Each structure stands twice: as structure tokens, then as C-alpha cells.
Amino acid sequence: MRLSNSLLFLSLYLPIRTSKAADRADNVTHDESWSFLVMADIHTFTPFSFNPDTTKLGTVWKESIKILKSVKKEYGGELVMMPGDSNSYGPLTNQQIVERLGISGYTTEQSIYEAGLNCYKAVRQLFRKAGYGTLLATVGDHELGGNEGFVISGGRSKLPTVPAYRKAFGRGYNKYAGGGYRYNEPIGKIKLRPLGTTYEDTSFAYRHNNALFVTVDAFKLMDDGNSNYIDRTKGFGGEGAITCDVSGDHLDWFESVLVEARNDTSIKHIFVQAHLPIIQPVRKVSCSGQFMDGADQSQFWVIMDKYDVDIYFAGEVHSNTASKSNDPASNLVQIVSGHKDFSNFLVINMTDDVIDVKLFNEVGNKKVWNGQYVANGHLTIDKSSSAGIDISSSGELRLIDTVSALIKFDFQEILPLGSRQVSTLQAH
């Protein structure tokens, strides 16, 4: 997987306006306030793939259900957005998946489909038992077999089985056992899915209360997979024959969703999720750092900005960064987060006028499964003033300055890792 930027950076932030919204959002008491959670790059659920009996899933199931029930009780949330990588198929070869599933007579494609279906049905059941009946999941590179799996050679290519990976994801997360789609409530005249495209089972729009959620599968096979794709001049591709891009009929559908949403005055907020960051740079921790072709010059970003999408959520980089484009007229915020093994999560609380985002980070002595969290980031979007939208932020969600110098080391002082926490990086 390519790296978008070789720079390593700490925390150089944009100055943030002082705003009454930041104080008010902490104590929202409006009758119509409600919240949802975001959990990207959990990775935890791979073991669910190889045993369809959820009563025999062991530690991962036991600890996950305990943490999720605790999170539901303490932090609430009416639904969960999950921007990709709910499991870790990337490091596994197709043959390893076939062997671990252990069903004789199955082709490789059948085994991959069955393993994926086991995993995603179990994840849905896990969240449902914890009180989160609505789970909006995004395709990540790991669900499609990434990590060198998209190359056409080298002995690890999974390109012929990507359709089976994607089909299992769409069926497991987004369809009922009888075959109908889970998220199929009408929003005006639009089609809630890009029917007739590769993404009809994995990209969709969903309305809840005063908000619209759009989930986008941004992984695109180039040139029928005949060759690895990379455009070094533009910085596109670099992940074998699959790149990250929203275009053609898929992009047309996406824009039609946003047009219809903006014609509906009862929709106050729009949230979009895909797996890859768009604005660069972002913090990265132990990851490949893949990103969306075209960055904030891509038509995908331009369309989101045109129709006043509020927040674009992404994952991939296993760390947390909030940013916005350099256009002063734009209020579109990108929040990239990573929550491996429930190491942290976002809580988004809102009324018609205010979106209040808090980042909670895991604390405790154990490597994983501590189940204890403290707030360490805050971002508020306040639309209540006729003078315009006010965005305030602090902590790990403080908006970064994307154009200033990002390296700030003197190389004279050595600080032990234990003396300064790096979110989502686990101790060993």
C-alpha cells in the first residue's frame, strides 16, 4: 500500500475561535437531542469468520459484548457508524481462510463468502445484543482482502476473489436472511442504493431523525484488473489494480442523494463515511496510510462541499485527526479515527442547530479490553447563528493546520514512549 506523505507530525494546530457553542453543546437539553457513535478500524472480529456458533466465539465475543453494553449504558447512541476494517483479512492468504473455515468441497470463492457471512452476521448480532440495532458499516481494504491482496502478482493477489469478499460484506451487513435490503426507507425520489453498479450492496443512504447518513464503498477495480494502477504525477493508485475513487454512475448516484437531501428541510445534518482519508496529512499509527485519489480536489469531495455535508468520517490510519480544507468558505469537516479493539470511539450528539463530537480514549493497565474511557477530544459545529457556521475544537480533535510545517523535532531529547501516550498504539 502506498504512503501519501512521508512526514511524521505531532500536534501543530489552527487557532480556534472562542465560541459559545462549545460551552452550550456540553449541556444540550433540547427535547429532540440524540446521539450516535463512530467506531472505525476495530479489526477485532476476524475469529467470528470461522465459527457460525456465536456461543463458541470465546474471548473476543465475551469481552466485546461486555464493553459494548457498558458503552451503551454510559454513552448511549441510537446507531453506530463503522468506517471499515471490522476484521483483518488482509494478513491472511486465501488458502489460510479456506483451511481455517475447514468446509470440504468448497471452492476458494465459496469459502471466502461463507467466512465473511459468518463474521458479519455475528458482528450484527453482537451490536444488536448490546443495544445497537442499527449498524451502518463501510467496506474497508481488510474486508476485501487488502494488504498486498490487490496486486496482480507476487503470490498474494486476491483480485479474483474480491467479488466474493464484497458479496459477503453486502449480504452479511446490509441484507436480511430472506434477501431484502435492511436500509431501504425512501428519501424523496432517490434510489437509496446505486443499483446496477458494483456498489449496490455496499453503498447506501439512510435517514434517521433529522440526519442523513451516506455510506460509500470507495474501492474501484481499474482496467478490469489487467495491470497494477499508479499515476505518479497525480498521486493516484499505488495499491495494485484497485484504487480508491468514487466516479461514474456511483458518483452520479451520490450527488443525487445529496440533492434530494437538501430539498428536504427536515434533514438538518448530513454525514458521509468511507474508509479512506481525503484531506492530507493525517496522523498515522502502524498503518499503510492509503488515501483517496484526488484528495480535496476530487469530485467526491467537491460534491460533498457543494451540498453542505457536515462531516466526512474515515478510518484506515489507526489514529485520530480532524481537519478541513483551506477554502475559508467551506465548512466541511473530515474526522479520521481509529478504534482497534475498542481502544476509543466518537460520540456525536446533536440538535437541529448543533453537532457536538467527543472522542473518548481507552485507559487502563491491560493491553486490551480495559473498558474504561476518558474524553480527550472535542469538536462542535454550531449552525444557530444567522452570521454563519461556527466550528470550535480542542484536544485530539482540534483542527490541524494542513499547510504549516509539520515536523518539529530538535533530536536532542529522547522521550520514552511510556511517558507520552499515543492513542490506539498498544503497549507490548
**380: in domain:** yes
**200: in domain:** no
**pLDDT tens digits, 195-253:** 999 999 999 999 999 999 999 999 999 988 889 999 999 889 888 999 999 999 999 99
Confidence band (pLDDT; 50, 70, 90) for 321?
Answer: very high
Task: Give the pLDDT of residue 409.
Answer: 58
* Strand-pair partners of 137: 82
**pLDDT tens digits, 79-129:** 999 999 999 999 999 999 999 999 999 999 999 999 999 999 999 999 999
Task: Give the pLDDT of residue 193.
Answer: 95
- Complete DSSP assignment for 59-108: HHHHHHHHHHHHHHHHH--S-EEE-S-SS--TTS-HHHHHHHH--TT--H
Task: Give the pLDDT of residue 416.
Answer: 62
**53: in domain:** yes
**108: in domain:** yes
**What are the backbone dihedrals phi and psi of residue 110, each rounded to the nearest 5 degrees, phi first?**
-65, -40
Q: Which of 36-40, 73-77, 144-148, 287-291 has the lowest mean pLDDT?
A: 287-291
Rg of the chain on CA atoms, in Å: 21
pLDDT at 408 over 60: no
Instruction: Extract the C-alpha cell encoding 178.
Output: 430472506
Q: Which helix (H) or strand (E) holds 137?
A: strand 135-137
pLDDT (average), residues 49-56 = 84
Q: What is the pTM of this model?
A: 0.88
**109: in domain:** yes
Q: Are 342 and 86 in contact (CB under 8 A)?
A: no
27 or 60, higher pLDDT: 60
DSSP 131: T
**Cell 437509496 sits on residue:** 192
Instruction: Extract the C-alpha cell encoding 160.
Output: 479474483
Chain Cα centroid distance, residue 36: 14
What is the percent of the chain with per-residue pLDDT over 90, rounded to a whole number? 69
**357: in domain:** yes
Confidence band (pLDDT; 50, 70, 90) for 342?
Answer: very high
pLDDT at 9 over 50: no
Residue 200 CB partners (closer than 8 Å, separation 6+): 170, 193, 194
Task: Give the pLDDT of residue 288.
Answer: 63
* Strand-pair partners of 214: 205, 272
Q: CB-hemisphere CA count at 13 Å for 354?
A: 21
Task: Give the pLDDT of residue 268.
Answer: 97
**For the chain, how many structural domains are there in total?**
1
Task: Give the pLDDT of residue 387.
Answer: 92
232 or 148, higher pLDDT: 232
pLDDT (average), residues 342-364 = 96
Q: For the chain, what is the mean pLDDT?
A: 87
Task: Give the pLDDT of residue 15.
Answer: 38
**242: in domain:** no
**pLDDT tens digits, 162-210:** 999 999 999 999 999 888 999 988 788 888 999 999 999 999 999 999 9
pLDDT at 421 over 60: no
**143: in domain:** yes
**Cell 459559545 sits on residue:** 20
Task: Give the pLDDT of residue 318.
Answer: 74
pLDDT at 6 over 70: no
pLDDT at 340 over 70: yes
pLDDT at 135 over 60: yes
Q: From CA 22, how far away is CA 13, in angstroms rounded?
A: 17
Residue from 314, 422, 406, 397 nearest 16 by CA: 397
What is the percent of the chain with per-residue pLDDT over 70, rounded to a whole number? 85
Domain that holds residue 178: 20-189+279-291+317-419
